[in-house]
């Protein structure tokens, strides 16, 4: 049993010192030789401000359907990250090791892809996303930058939410129906704000709700707390009005996760006999409210019922056909897949598609990961998630002990990641630039805290083992 626990700890990289490994590597020694110059350079003094401005610019442009400018911003962020590594020691955590391995596997998948030129486009996008994440990881280690990054994103979402509510009350273009014209939901407006796709908008809102809740608890002034609460309420209403079933699934998982973490955080203020019943009462009340809404609100009831209609529902039928075709593709390319990106997918999928309908993706993130990078890549990404959530949970337990309000950002990151993964089971808007960087923001909220306190959990565990 003890041997098994040691193997499990090793698998989760709990005792692996990534920072020491980096400093002993060739790149780490090269970086160290330049740091004396870098400490006094104008670049180091201004890089955080420039990076923060780029992130805020990204949030602003991500509130619209066009994505070309987002790629340019990510390219500049990647260049800043590379220059920063030459003069500053990167802050590595254990979760970066399986993530780097996943990038290496994606590189091999690109090289050996049946459509290598098309896969290069997806590989470049993946590389830019990871560079953007590493820049966020560095920025979010500073509380002031953390507030600016999250605050600017919430303000952008408020503008989008107000426009989404306007669409609901005053109507929107016909594309907002996004449902079978023969169903009972024909004519129901599904809000999409500036993104022109209600499913995309729903996925965009999932991580914003825990971020807003975290801000409402963390920010010190009552004005900021009220603003964060109001933005969260607007985003939650808009998420419901997207009528996106996948987004609703992700939102339920996200809300349940955030509720558990917030009850844990606030249980210290409750009488001892109440603590045991707070969480069951919360879930019972939430379940009753959800059931009441399904029974009394006809569009909501019809949308939920469509989940269980199988192929009778046209959207379900389309997804089932896509999943079957993707499974055939995985069967033919099981080891390294066809290479990353939608361009590679669009080149190969027509050879396997069912019926006469093309598809933008696999409509399932686990299937897409396996298709793009094979079983090797999907298992490596699963390893990354295990390491991330294990370290995030240990960091959360540490925050509960220290009562540091900044630890609530870890809770927001965990809830956002879990909700987005739940949504990703039945859709692939996770790969869209507007949503992809929100995923990496949530990941960075977890790993950035680990960057500053990564040695404390292991020390506590050693004392408890003694």
Through-space distance between the first and last CA atoms of the chain, rounded to whole angstroms: 17
- Overall pTM > 0.75: yes
Spatial CA neighbour of 444 closest among 142, 6, 12: 142
- pLDDT tens per residue, range 270-317: 777 777 788 888 888 888 988 888 888 887 888 888 777 778 778 888
Average pLDDT, the chain: 87
Which tokens in the block code for residue 285?
């009340």
Identify the pLDDT of residue 42: 66
More confident site: 315 or 438: 438
Residues 449/453/457/462 CA torsion (nearest 10 deg): 170
| pLDDT for the residue numbered 459 | 40
Instruction: Kindly report, residue by residue over 383-436, the tens digit of the pLDDT.
Output: 999 999 999 999 999 998 888 889 999 999 999 999 999 999 999 999 999 999
Cα separation, 162 vs 413, in Å, equals: 25
Which residues are within 8 A (CB) of 384 and not within 5 positions of it... i.e. 6 or more apart? Answer: 95, 98, 99, 102
**pLDDT (mean) for 109-121:** 95
């Amino acid at each position: 049993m003890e041997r098994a626990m040691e193997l499990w700890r090793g698998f989760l990289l709990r005792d692996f010192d990534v920072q020491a490994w980096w400093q002993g590597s060739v790149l780490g020694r090269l970086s160290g030789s330049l740091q004396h110059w870098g400490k006094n350079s104008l670049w180091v003094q201004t890089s955080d401000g420039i990076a923060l401005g780029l992130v805020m610019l990204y949030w602003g442009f991500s509130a619209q359907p066009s994505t070309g400018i987002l790629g340019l911003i990510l390219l500049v962020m990647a260049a800043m990250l590379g220059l920063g590594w030459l003069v500053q020691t990167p802050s590595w955590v254990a979760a970066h090791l399986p993530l780097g391995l996943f990038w290496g596997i994606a590189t091999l998948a690109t090289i050996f892809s049946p459509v290598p030129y098309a896969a290069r486009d997806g590989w470049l996008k993946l590389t830019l996303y990871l560079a953007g994440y590493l820049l966020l990881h560095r920025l979010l280690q500073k509380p002031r930058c953390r507030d600016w990054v999250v605050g600017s994103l919430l303000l952008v979402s408020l503008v989008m939410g107000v426009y989404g509510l306007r669409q609901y009350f005053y109507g929107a273009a016909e594309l907002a129906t996004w449902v079978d014209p023969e169903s009972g939901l024909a004519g129901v407006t599904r809000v999409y704000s500036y993104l022109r796709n209600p499913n995309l908008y729903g996925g965009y809102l999932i991580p914003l709700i825990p971020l807003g809740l975290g801000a409402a608890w963390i920010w010190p002034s009552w004005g900021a707390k009220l603003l964060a609460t109001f933005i969260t309420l607007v985003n939650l209403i808009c998420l419901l009005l997207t009528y996106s079933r996948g987004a609703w699934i992700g939102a339920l998982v996200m809300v349940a996760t955030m509720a558990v973490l917030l009850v844990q955080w606030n249980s210290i203020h409750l009488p001892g006999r109440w603590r045991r019943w707070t969480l069951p009462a919360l879930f019972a009340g939430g379940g009753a409210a959800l059931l009441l809404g399904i029974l009394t609100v006809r569009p909501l009831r019809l949308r939920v019922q469509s989940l269980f209609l199988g192929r009778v529902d046209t959207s379900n039928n389309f997804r089932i056909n896509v999943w079957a075709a993707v499974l055939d593709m995985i069967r033919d390319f099981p080891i390294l897949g066809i290479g990353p990106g939608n361009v590679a997918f669009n080149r190969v999928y027509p050879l396997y598609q069912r019926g006469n309908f093309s598809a933008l993706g696999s409509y399932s993130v686990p299937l897409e990961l396996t298709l793009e990078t094979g079983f090797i890549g999907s298992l490596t990404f699963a390893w990354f998630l295990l390491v991330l959530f294990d370290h995030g949970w240990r960091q959360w337990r540490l925050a509960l002990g220290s009562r540091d309000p900044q630890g609530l950002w870890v809770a927001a990151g965990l809830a956002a990641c879990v909700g987005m993964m739940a949504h990703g089971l039945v859709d692939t808007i996770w790969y869209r630039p507007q949503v992809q960087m929100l995923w990496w923001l949530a990941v960075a909220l977890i790993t950035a805290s680990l960057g500053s306190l990564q040695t404390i959990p292991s020390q506590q565990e050693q004392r408890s083992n003694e």
